[in-house]
Each structure stands twice: as C-alpha cells, then as structure tokens.
Chain A
Amino acid sequence: MKPIIYLRCFKGIVLREALRFFHQKERFFSALVRPLVWLGIFAAGFRSVLGVAIIPPYETYIPYEVYIAPGLIAMIQLFNGMQSSLSMVYDREMGSMKTMLVSPIPRWFLLISKLLAGVFVSILQVYAFLIIASFWEIIPPITGYFTILPALIFTGLMLGSLGMFLSSAIKQLENFAGVMNFVIFPMFFASSALYPLWKIEETSEWLYYVCFYNPFTYAVESIRFSLYSQFNFEYTAGIVIFTVIFLILSILGYDPARGSLQKKGGS
C-alpha cells in the first residue's frame, strides 16, 4: 500500500476527531473548567498550607499555583485520553468503531492514528489552558510554550494508549465508569501532580514508591521540565517505555486473532 494512502487515512481520522471536538463545545468547556477549578479554588486554598522548596526545574521559591500547573496540564491529557477511549467503548457498542476496523489499512495504523488524533485535541486544550493560566501569573519562559510541545505529544500518547488498552479490555460502557474511578483518581493523587515526591517520602515510604513508579508522575515531571525548557532524560525514557508497553497491549487487544474483541461475542 502506498504511503499516500496512509496519509489520507491519517488525515481523515484526525479531521473527524477535530470536527467532533468542535461540534461538542461543552466538551471543550468542561475540559477547561476542570483544571481551572483546581487552579482557582484548590490551589488558592492550599497555597498557605503547603510550602514548596526550591526544586528543579524551578530556580526560586514558587507559588503553589505554579507548582501544580504541570500536573493540571497532565490531568487535561489524562482526562482526554480516557475520554477518547470512552468514546471507543461507546463507538464499539454503537457500532461505529466497526467501520474503522474493517478498513483495508492495517489495524495498528488505524489505532495509532486515532490515538494521535486524540493527542492533537488534548494539545489544543492544553494551550487554551496555558493562555487562561497566565492570568494566575503562571508564565513560563516564552521558549517553554514551544518546548512543551514534544513532551505533550509523548505524554498524550502514553495516556491515550493506556486508555486505548483499557477500552479494548472493557466489555461494556457501564464498566468504564468504574475504571475511571479506579484509574484516573488513583493515578492523579498518587503522583507528583499536587505535591512534590520528597514531601510524600517524608510521610510514607511505600506511598512514595507508588508515586515514583506511577506513569502519571513521569508525565507530570516531563511536562514540568519541558515547560521550563529543560530536558530530563529519566522521565522522558520512562514515558517512552510506558507508551510502548501500553501501545503493544492495546494493539494486541484490538487484534482479531488475539484480542478481547471476539470474546465479547454476539451472534
């Protein structure tokens, strides 16, 4: 199959995702409101309670709002990843996923295209958030707005492929609500999104290790460093490894020979 065929297919999948996103204005609105509530209410309340020491990549003491901004950016991508996989479960239940899966283009390419389409949408949300966050004086160096982009692509891919894997493993839409509770909240709270890891280590060692090995922590820290135009090899490598694992699992999940699709049955 010629490369142009793949390119057209990719363009079509991204365009559909973008059209769906722009048609559903409330989705855009709610995706922005969620982190802004954390920023405007939670962070304001915790500002006086939590003191954040000088830790890389920051060079001075920073307000709590500045500390949690990367975590909230990762939260946007986490929700987006889960939401697009939720739509895959919905599409599968409603049948529209089938039209994609019966395309002659290899299934791994279709799934990765769908994943990248979701990442593209999440990046739009992140930049909208960054613009609004500047009113809270969350203003990274101007280069940070550019250097964050590759990090967002990788973290988006990681969280999206996690969601895609979950969607392949889940039978029904109802079960997905439970997974949201068991995946989103634990991932978010047991990470460095709201408090630095050294603070957690002071309180509980086992929790520190949970947070340390949580893929979401890698997403948050990678975004944090890239927002300040710094590169952290450890976190980037972690994201690449987690992405590859989740991606392989989700492609296997949607593989007709091995996957869980046909176990779901129908007659």
Chain B
Amino acid sequence: MSTALQIKNVSHKFGEFKALNNVSIKIDSGDFTVLLGLNGAGKTTLYSLITRLYNNNSGSIKIHNFDVREESSDALKNIGVVFQQPTLDLDLSVEENLHYHSSLHGLSFADAKERIEEEIRRIDLTDKLKNKVRSLSGGQRRRVEIARSLLHKPKLLLLDEPTVGLDIGSRQMILKHVKSLCKKGDLAVLWATHLIDEIDKGEKVVIIHKGEIVESGDVLKIVKKTKQKNIRDAFNKLVGVKV
C-alpha cells in the first residue's frame, strides 16, 4: 500500500507562539484518518502547511512522495481540500463555481463538464446545478465543496472541520459520503474535527493537543493503551480536558 501523506518532524511558529511542535503523521492510501483536537490545537495550521498556504520551515511534508515545498505543483495536484470556512462564491451558480475550480486544475471544459455531472450526481444535487450558491442550505453547500474537491481526482482529501455549524442530518450525510469514498477507491482522507462522535470503531485517529501529536493509531488500540472505556474518555485523559 502506498503512502498518501507523510509528515516528518514539522514545527511551526507564529512569532513566539509555537503552533506545531515536531509533528509526524503517516497516512496510507485508502485510509480514513481523523485528526482530533480541540479548537486551537493546531489542526488548521497543519492543513495550511500541507496545502502550502504556509511554508514549512522545518521537517518535511510529502504527498505521494512529492515534497510540498520542493515539488509543490506535483504535490498539490494530488490534494483535494475542503476548508473550515466556506469558500464557494455565493453570487455564482453551483456549476460556475465547479467550472472555476476545474480551470484552476487545468481541466478542459469537456472533461470538467463530465466530472461535474458525475460528482454532483454522487452528492444528489443535480437539480441545484444552475442555482446560485446563495440559495443552498449550509449542508448542501458543504456537499458541493466536497464534490468540488474531488473534481481533479485527488489521491488525498483534506477536510478541516467540515461539519461545523451543520445540523445532525447533514453531518451524518456528509460523514457517510466521505467514508464511502475511501472504501470505494484508494482515496486517503484526513478529517480534522473536534467532534468525537464522528469517529467509528476501527478507524485511525491522530490526537493533536497544543501543537503536539499526543497519540495516534487505531481507535481500539488507543482506548486499550489509555485503559479507558471509549475514545471519548481516552481523548479526555490524553488532553486533560473534559469535552
């Protein structure tokens, strides 16, 4: 199995504040990995480094063996991203937004059209294709963002707190959809969240706290190692905070 994401010894500072300290993570193709941490733990900073919005000054980040700093074009080609903040253009239609994204990845109009139809069908929003994004609900917008992140057929999908602010129904639908994507192909997913109930048994978890990885591995392994009843208690013990 090939390695989709390999982060080695990455640290990052904002002035004197150390946002990340010696972080190392490895994700294989086809893995669904949850990056679990409280607000302010360093999840978004880590995502900004993986996507090269910030430059990593220490350690290395590789996506399918391409170094993000040295071979950024090849590395970024393989990533699909759903940011924490909504990033769709509200005044454009769903279709216009998706075509814009396709052009940023150099897809031809015909290819883009075909993939847009395919992805939009997968999220069950074909009837909304011509609608302005402004008219969609929060959950629908998130689904469109996920469809958008898959248009260029990435091998690694990064989602930063994608379900924040959504109702339970939309949250479940999105979570189920992304998990099914992993099962179907060799897509690797890194799902950042502070919501413990989004983790299922048998999944891989990376727990980040105050910029450091405090534990990582299978859910059951972490629960056993910390001698707790479930992942919630294990997390509470590891970060020392009741959530």
Write the residues of chain A forming the contact surface with B, with a CB cutoff of 8 angstroms.
1-2, 4-6, 8-9, 11-13, 15-16, 19-20, 23-24, 94-96, 98-106, 110, 256-257, 261-263, 265-267
Contacts and interface: CB of A to CB of B under 8 A. Distances in A.
Interface in B77-104: 77, 79, 81, 83-89, 91-92, 96, 99-104
B163 interface: no
A11 B77 CA distance: 19
A8 B100 CA distance: 10
Given A103-B105, A104-B74, A95 B99 contact: no
Contacts of A20: 89, 91-92
Contact of A256 (B53, B75, B102, B109): B53
Nearest to B68: A256
A101 B53 contact: yes
A19 B96 contact: yes
Q: How large is the interface on B (under 10, 10 to 19, 20 to 34, 35 or more residues)?
A: 35 or more
Interface of B: 14, 17, 19, 40-45, 48, 51-55, 72-77, 79, 81, 83-89, 91-92, 96, 99-109, 148
A24 B41 CA distance: 39
A253 to B, nearest CB: 13
Contact of B106 (A8, A262, A266): A8
Given A24-B91, A99-B104, A267 B19 contact: yes
A23 B97 CA distance: 14
Contact of A267 (B42, B55, B89): B42
A252 to B, nearest CB: 13
B77 to A, nearest CB: 4
B41 A1 contact: no
B73 A106 contact: yes
